[in-house]
Amino acid sequence: ETGVTQTPRHLVMGMTNKKSLKCEQHLGHNAMYWYKQSAKKPLELMFVYNFKEQTENNSVPSRFSPECPNSSHLFLHLHTLQPEDSALYLCASSQELAGGPKKETQYFGPGTRLLVL
Amino acid sequence: AQKITQTQPGMFVQEKEAVTLDCTYDTSDPSYGLFWYKQPSSGEMIFLIYQGSYDQQNATEGRYSLNFQKARKSANLVISASQLGDSAMYFCAMREATTGNQFYFGTGTSLTVIP
């Protein structure tokens, strides 16, 4: 496996279900991200982890719970979601360097298409 | 205020022609980076090109070039010799030195290449 992988690729769940999205990066990066992509809206950054520590939480509802057990794996635990949470959830990683201009790009996984019924 | 603005929801281009996708940005940070990504219908975001705020020359990567006009705060993507495989969504993004890992994305432009 190379790059950034995400499973599952598609997920349909009811509002009372609990599910988890998984992301794995094989690039040796030290930062990982969760984004939500809805139609006709900019990508919304949800969570950022640097060296397994959460550094950003952009006012995400508590029904989304991230977990980063190590620098290669990132999970997004879902429970009691709403239909408006239906979207494409993208995981990304980057190698962040200390100091200097931020020029490191992010590498994205293929995403999980989530439908909440 | 939006950090990244892409005003073209959809664009069409004839195969083998060049096309320009617009992007304007808003920042007061003197140190920032601008990125363009391509997203095919499969969903994966693919990094195309990067331009740093202090770079003196416009970035180029193969058929992609970035028309960077700092005073106007614009960073338009130019795709030369369009191919059918270029049909996709294109996103402009920015990160600032002061806001660390925060990437700001535009709403994207859907490009369709016509044979």
Instruction: Using DSSP, state whether B112 is helix, strand or coil.
Output: strand
Give the per-residue SS3 of chain A. Answer: CCCEEEECCEEEECCCCEEEEEEEECCCCCEEEEEEECCCCCCEEEEEEECCEEEEECCCCCCEEEEEEECCEEEEEEECCCHHHCEEEEEEEECCCCCCCCCCCCEECCCEEEEEC
Cα A13 versus chain centre, distance:
18
Instruction: Compute the average pLDDT of residues B1-19.
Output: 93
- Distance from B66 to chain A by nearest Cα, in Å? 15
Give the tens place of pLDDT for each residue, A61-78. 999 999 999 889 999 999
What is the Cα–Cα distance from B77 to B56, expressed in whole angstroms? 17
Query: Which segments of chain A have a pLDDT < 50?
Result: none
What is the Cα–Cα distance from A93 to A96, expressed in whole angstroms? 9
The pLDDT of residue B113 is above 70: yes
Give the tens place of pLDDT for each residue, B37-83. 999 988 889 999 999 999 989 999 999 999 999 999 999 999 999 99
Which chain B residues touch A if contact means CB-CB below 8 Å? Answer: 2, 4, 31-33, 35, 37, 42-47, 50, 52-54, 91, 93, 95-97, 100-108
pLDDT in the model for residue A1: 55
Are B45 and A108 in contact (CB < 8 Å)?
A: yes
